[in-house]
Chain A
Amino acid sequence: MNIPTITPILTTTNEAKDIKTITFRYPKTVIPGQFFMIWIPGVDEIPMSVSYVNKEVKGITFRKIGEATHALYQLKPRDKIGVRGPYGNGFTLTGKHLLFIGGGTGVAMLAPVVEQARKRKLKTTVIIGVKTKNELFFEDRLRKSGATILISTDDGSKGYKGFASSLAKDILTKEKIDAVFTCGPEPMMKTLLSSCRTTPFQASLERYMKCCIGICGQCCIGKGLRVCLEGPIFDGKTLKKIDDFGVYRRDAAGRKIPV
């Protein structure tokens, strides 16, 4: 059976403007980087990466951006949502000094893997890149994990002024980084990949998803790689062979549109 399990929302937390975290009881084992399908009955069902991983309780963090996230944003504790999953592969931690780059809301799904790396006592540097400082969230949470946190803002309102990918390039040339992990806008991730050269690289991709179980083909990239099943985390070697990475995605009708 692969159908939503109805579960009440336990907590809702405002993280920044238009950004919320919702937690719910869901005792299945989840690897950071994996995602759920969140069903809002009567509205839609959407993929959401896990942002909090506890034994009994899981969480998702999202920006109010479309019809489904607007509906999700309005929900309160005890309201019911449907959850199924987890789906996808999740991150694989390798190396001793790790660099994480989260662009926009991308930091939400990186947070649990950063905490996992710190639990393993790995040297961990995190770049949180946002347009402007009031979009920033999870800074305190990640500092508490013991990771080194760097902020970049496009407008210079906090930390480094400029793109997270430029800041990452500086770090990659100055320090010995064993592996790079990223989630954010695809052009940013593509730039990062080109800065990485031989450094192992893992990126979380976002595609319009429908079935989430690898049968409908909606989220395919390259030669039939299903983002919902073989992804959403892909390594640099695979991504270098995918022409559409950082360039095109597909809309609900399967038409190619710029990312």
Chain B
Amino acid sequence: MDEDAGSIQRMIDCGAGAIVTKSIGMQPREGYANPTILELEFGLLNAMGLPNPGIDQYGNEMKQLQKSKTPIIGSIYAADTQEFVMLASKMKQYGAAGVELNVSCPHAKQYGLEVGCDIALLQTIVSSIKQKVRIPVFVKLSPNVVNIVEIAQAAEKGKADAIVAINTIKGMKIDLETTHPILANKTGGYSGKAIKPIGVRCVYDIAQSVNIPVIGVGGITTGEDAIEYFMAGASAIQIGSAVYYRGPDVFKQVCKEINDWMDTHGYKKITEFIGAAYQ
């Protein structure tokens, strides 16, 4: 969802506290041929290939949401610093409350993870956006790296406002009858329940190593999943795949489940247990 104003509005109406858009680039991009998404036993495997109408046309979608009180965070991807700065500047112009840098997509050549693995480049990108565009910058990281903490620290050095962890995990599904990898792109990113322990571990490691907030994402389907991320050190959480598992009402349901859990455990504020797992 979140490729157009209508679906964003629906997610807002279903209780999402903020929206992260589809990742938007400089030019329109069609993405990969189908199959693009499979549901496997314990999660979703996708290789959408960053489809998006391009930053100029995306302005039409953002314009329809200008009156919305819910913050819209523009997810952007690019191959170099200059493009990232231009995209961030356009998103600001469109009224975005912040930008999230997709430096972690595991299946798009030149983009995503290929940018996010280069520590020096990432720091330059973040600091350039911060210097030239006055807008909060979140950096979404990939777990498909040797050391996610040092990448988070590079983003912090570039003056990022928050870290988002994690993006999907690179995977593959092969059809035995035809011997073909089923996704048209062959490899894709794995999300959903199966990756939650990986996300929780990443958030736990990052949150103790940086002084900026961490937004937890990866397999959150229930209120208890969200609470686990808070205890690992997340200040906020994102939900994607669970829109498939529980439908768009997942946002209201997760909020209610968090509240119910806090009531039965005697907590008044989420901040009381953020990072509670460090002992």
Q: Which residue of chain A lies nearest to B178 when distances are taken between CB atoms in the complex?
A: A41
A220 touches B41 (CB 8 A): no
User: Assuming the A-B contacts A220-B4, A221-B6, are A214 and B244 also in contact, with contact meaning beta carbons closer than 8 angstroms in the complex?
Assistant: yes
Cβ-neighbour of B30 out of A43, A217, A223, A251 (below 8 A):
A251
Q: How far is the CA of A45 from the CA of B34 in the complex (A)?
A: 5
Answer whether residue A255 sits at the interface, using C-beta atoms and an 8 A cutoff.
Answer: yes
Q: Which of B52-60, B115-123, B128-136 lies at the interface? A: B52-60
* Complex partner residue of B48 from A43, A80, A216, A255, CB under 8 angstroms: A216
Known: A215-B243, A253-B29, A255-B28. A44 touches B184 (CB 8 A): yes
**CB-contact partner of B1 in A2, A217, A251, under 8 A:** A217
B175 touches A4 (CB 8 A): yes
Write out, one digit per residue, whether chain A residues 231-259 have a CB within 8 A of any chain B CB (1) or not (0). Answer: 00000000000000000001111111000
Query: How many residues of B sit at the interface, in one of the four size bands?
Result: 35 or more
Whether a CB of chain A sits under 8 angstroms from the CB of B197 is: no
The docked-state distance in angstroms from the alpha carbon of A45 to that of B33 is 8
Q: Known contacts being A1-B41, A211-B37, A211-B46, is A252 close to B30, with CB within 8 Å?
A: yes
Interface pair B4/A250, CB less than 8 Å apart: yes
Instruction: Decide yes or no whether B7 CB sits under 8 A from chain A.
Output: yes
B175 touches A215 (CB 8 A): no
| B-chain residues with CB within 8 Å of residue A214 when the two chains form the complex | 243-244, 247
Which residues does chain A contribute within 8 Å of B57, judged by CB atoms?
255-256
Residues 185-227 of chain A, each 1 if its beta carbon lies under 8 Å from chain B, else 0: 0000000000000000000000001111111111011111110
Residues of A close to B241: CB separation below 8 A = 215
| Distance, CA A41 to CA B177, complexed state (A) | 11
- How far apart are A215's CB and chain B's nearest CB, in angstroms? 4
Q: Is A9 an interface residue (CB 8 A)?
A: no
Q: Is the interface of A mostly helix, strand, loop or mixed?
A: loop
Within the complex, the shortest CB–CB distance from B49 to chain A, in Å, comes to 10
Could you tell me the distance in whole angstroms from the C-beta of A132 to the nearest C-beta in chain B?
A: 32
Q: Is the CB of B36 within 8 A of A216?
A: yes
CB < 8 Å neighbour of B39 from A2, A80, A209: A2
Residue of A nearest to B44 (CB): A215
Taking the closest CB of chain A, its distance from the CB of B168, in whole angstroms, is 13
Q: Are A39 and B2 in contact (CB under 8 A)?
A: no
Measured CB to CB, the residues of A under 8 A from B are 1-4, 6, 37, 39, 41-46, 80, 82, 209-218, 220-226, 250-256
Additional 10 contacts, C-beta under 8 A, given A82-B178, A253-B31, A255-B54: A3-B39, A4-B182, A6-B175, A39-B182, A46-B34, A210-B48, A224-B9, A252-B51, A253-B51, A256-B60
**Could you jot down 23 A-B contacts, CB within 8 Å?**
A4-B182, A6-B175, A42-B180, A44-B34, A44-B184, A45-B35, A46-B34, A210-B34, A211-B36, A212-B37, A214-B247, A215-B44, A215-B243, A215-B244, A216-B46, A217-B2, A217-B4, A218-B51, A220-B7, A224-B1, A224-B248, A250-B4, A253-B53
